[in-house]
Amino acid sequence: MNITLRQLKAFITVADCGSFTRAAEALNLTQSALSGLIKELEQNLEVKLFDRTTRQLHLSEAGSRLLPQAQRIFNEVALLDTEVRHLKNLRQGQVKIAVSQQLAASAMPSLIAAFNREYPDIRVGLIDCSVEQVLQRVEDNEADFGIGPERSHGSDIESELLCTLPFYLVMPPSHRLAGQADVTWADLAGETLITLSGPFTDRLAAGLSADAASYILHPAHRVNFLSTALGMVKAGLGITFCLPYAADWVRQHGLEMRLLNRPQAERRFYLYRRRHRSLSAAAQTLSNFVAAYAETAF
């Protein structure tokens, strides 16, 4: 059996119009071409679809039974065509992204909201996790791509630089350093510091001079989450560090942040994806959106 969509459309149109003449006009075909399509379909099905007289055209018994099936098939194919066109037009789909916890909790909600306004039919699934898990989720194909700070990775992962962000010092408005436009690392001498455990602080120290690094390698407090550090700063237990995307959190705690420089320490953020795995149209759209958004909003 070799049925074509043109044959099905011809059958459905003739049945709807009740006339080969009107159906041919509707399909912009000659009557002979339309008759040829119906004849081919009847031969393929080995049934007669229409009873013809000189004055009237009626569906045969077989035609009456097959018409709903033909309509259903034609509608399903039309729906498939619409879905494909939507995907090609980047308007529909689902994307899963793995994002490091701090970034997911601070910058990503606004990014996803902005993306949803522009692409309301693309659903974004956010996987918030540790930095190390970002790479693992991408490697395991649980996420289309991941976003996080610089990390070493295997050859099956490729990375694209999104942005480079400077570190800020966070303090109460009454702190002596809050009156300065920016702060140097030497200004931290004698301060009670609160730092984050693990790679966040260790990598920060690795990019500083020995004198600057010494201020943060032996803090008064080490905590696991920035939210904890900000709460402690608000309570007057010390000062801490953050990246600019945490500015809303800082303001919500009634705290101030000042750029740290001389030297200026920075953290690079990357988009991670599986090498040799092509992104869907929806995922590529979100990836492009993230790249443009990160340049101005992170």
Q: Closest by alpha carbon to 170, among 201, 189, 193?
A: 193
The answer to whether the peptide bond before residue 166 is cis (omega within 30 degrees of 0) is no
Range of 121's domain?
93-164+268-297
Extended beta strands in the chain, E state: 50-52, 57-59, 93-100, 122-129, 145-149, 157-166, 168-171, 182-184, 194-196, 221-223, 240-242, 256-261, 266-274
> 118 falls in which pLDDT band (50, 70, 90)?
very high
Residues 258 and 275 in one domain: no
Counting the structural domains of the chain, the total is 3
Look up the CATH number of the domain holding residue 9: 1.10.10.10
- Same domain? For 38 and 182 the reply is no
Residue 77 pLDDT class (50, 70, 90 cuts): confident
| Domain match, 51 and 22 both | yes
Q: Do both 140 and 179 map to the same domain? A: no
User: What are 88-117's pLDDT values in tens digits?
Assistant: 655 667 899 999 988 998 899 999 999 999
Q: Is the pLDDT of residue 47 over 80?
A: yes
User: Could you tell me if 60 and 120 lie in one domain?
Assistant: no
Of the three residues 88, 120, 143, the one that is the final residue of a domain is: 88
Residues 211 and 71 in one domain: no
Tokens of 47: 């049934």
- The stretch 11-26 carries a mean pLDDT of 91
Q: In Å, how far from its chain's centre is CA 1? A: 43
Query: CB within 8 A of 285, min separation 6: which ones?
Result: 90, 119, 122
- What is the domain-level CATH number for residue 237? 3.40.190.10
Answer yes or no: do 19 and 104 share one domain: no
Could you tell me the CA-to-CA distances from 44 to 7, 24, 40 in Å, in that order?
10, 21, 6
pTM of the complete model: 0.67
Instruction: Kindly state whether residues 155 and 282 are assigned to the same domain.
Output: yes
